Amino acid sequence: MVDKVSRLTQARVTRRAVVAGAATAAGLAALPGSAFAQQALQDVLMSPNRGGWNDQFDTRSANVAPVRSNQPVFSPSTAGAMQQAIGHYNQITMAGGWPMVPEGQKLRLGVEHPSVMALRERLAISGDLPRSAGQSASFDTYVDAAVKRFQSRHGIPADGVVAENTYKAMNVPANVRLGQLQVNLQRLQSETYDAPRFVMVNIPAASIEAVEGGRVVQRHTAVVGKIDRQTPILKSRITNLNLNPYWHAPTSIVRKDIIPLMRKDPTYLERNDIFIYASDGSVIPPSRIDWNTEEATRYLFRQNPGKNNAMSSVKINFPNPHSVYMHDTPQQSVFSQLMRFESSGCVRVQNVRDLIVWLAKNTPGWDRATMEQIIARRERKDVDISDPVPLHFTYLTAWATDPTVVQFRDDIYARDGSSDLVMSDLRPVAYQPGEQVATGITY
């Protein structure tokens, strides 16, 4: 009985608090500029999920389109959305662009600093922050949500902290962003993609979309080619999968990586289960090779399946003149890096087993359970795809599947024609020992 009375009393108090809060908001509504806040509060009160008060209030009041979407980049509507975005960015440019946000001060939730004024204006012009959020010097939850949206649109971890990478992306002039959109619209319009399902690798974004029925059914983080070993632009079809594959080192990797490694550590090949084969199939001991010359480039280097294998559990094959492929990796930590441009041209795929199950779903006898069992046994198996899946390696640093959500990425290979867009510190470098934990090789 006491518990029941207690619950009733608590319910009355809760209702009384809500009514009092609403009454206070009604009083505020009589003040100039408070109608927006009143509407936002009303949205919260009507929300079926108002347990997280602050989150709901800020989300409802932001009034901006979400960044994530199931709309593929390769879609007939993308060109139209980009053209509308170009029109909008042209208006921004004609009006004088946006202000530069003074760098140096790390800005985050709770900070009060004069630079926040310029930050608010910058975010408002690009559509990440509603004008009604005000112009104070306080980094409040509205600014925090807007910064996270901006970061998501630019491929930056959405932590809400304005630091070096966010400043770099934010202070690219509006006219440069306009030109970037125009260049990438031309690239997009040169593509053809009418298959019912396909895979698209966007190199600057280091990301992968698996598309079916006009919708993105899977997204994967990728690692692509470094500056001096670029992933090529290509079109092909995925025809074959290797489970627990052998890895055959390309001549370029033998020359650039294996020879220098063997000069430093003669046990490297043995420790990583890599064998040298002559043209007649015989195995050549490493001790017979003169590692101070390029003699090794005349032979085949093959790594056995296993924990050290450069492709780990899976290799995805497609005909192409560049000898590149997609694959798993034993170095899963690289997928959490901001700059994922570390391979020798091939594409590493996070959660690759989800992708291969989708690729082989119309191939009889190859379901997920079967694949997982074979991989666990480290058994070598090849899977020929019954319906080869079209594949596109493309280079898009700007796109919009919604004209109000424009995505930008670093022009990592410097193809957009502006030095302002090459914002990374990555540059061609010589091999550094210890670069890769498992094999010492990028691939």
3-class state of residue 439 by DSSP: coil
User: Domain residue spans in the chain?
Assistant: 2-62, 98-172, 196-246+306-443, 253-304
Question: What pLDDT is stored for residue 235 in this prediction?
Answer: 97
Query: What is the end-to-end Cα distance of the chain in Å, rounded?
Result: 71
Q: For residue range 14-69, list pLDDT tens digits in order.
A: 434 433 444 333 333 333 333 333 443 344 334 333 333 333 334 333 456 678 78
- 16 versus 212: which is more confidently predicted? 212
Q: What is the mean pLDDT of residues 389-407?
A: 97
**For 440, phi and psi rounded to 5 degrees?**
80, 10
Distance of alpha carbon 207 from alpha carbon 219, whole angstroms: 7
Check 154, 220, 327, 392 and give the catalytic one. 327
Question: Comparing C-alpha atoms, which of 367, 329, 322, 366 is closest to residue 350?
Answer: 329
According to CATH, what is the number of the domain 196-246+306-443?
Answer: 2.40.440.10
154 is catalytic: no
Neighbour tally for 47: CB within 10 Å: 15
Residues linked to residue 198 through DSSP beta bridges, in sequence order: 211
Report angle CA 237, 243, 249 to the nearest 5 degrees.
80
Question: What pLDDT is stored for residue 424 in this prediction?
Answer: 66
Check 154, 220, 346, 392 and give the catalytic one. 346
Contact (CB, 8 A) for 407 and 265: no
pLDDT band, residue 304 (cuts 50/70/90): confident
**Domain 98-172 is in which class?**
mainly alpha
Question: What pLDDT is stored for residue 337 in this prediction?
Answer: 75
Q: What is the mean pLDDT of residues 79-101?
A: 97
Q: What is the mean pLDDT of residues 234-250?
A: 93
- 20 versus 177: which is more confidently predicted? 177
- 162-to-87, 136, 140, 173, 420 alpha-carbon distances in Å: 28, 17, 13, 17, 19
Contact (CB, 8 A) for 44 and 56: yes
pLDDT band, residue 338 (cuts 50/70/90): confident
Distance of alpha carbon 405 from alpha carbon 176, whole angstroms: 17
Question: What pLDDT is stored for residue 253 in this prediction?
Answer: 86
392 is catalytic: no
Distance of alpha carbon 81 from alpha carbon 87, whole angstroms: 10
Q: What is the mean pLDDT of residues 293-299?
A: 94
Beta strand pairing call for 234-243 and 381-394: antiparallel
Per-residue three-class SS string for 215-244 = EEEEEEEEEEECCCCCCCCEEEEEEEEEEC
Distance of alpha carbon 443 from alpha carbon 425, whole angstroms: 21
Question: What pLDDT is stored for residue 251 in this prediction?
Answer: 87
In the 8-state DSSP scheme, what is residue 107? Answer: B
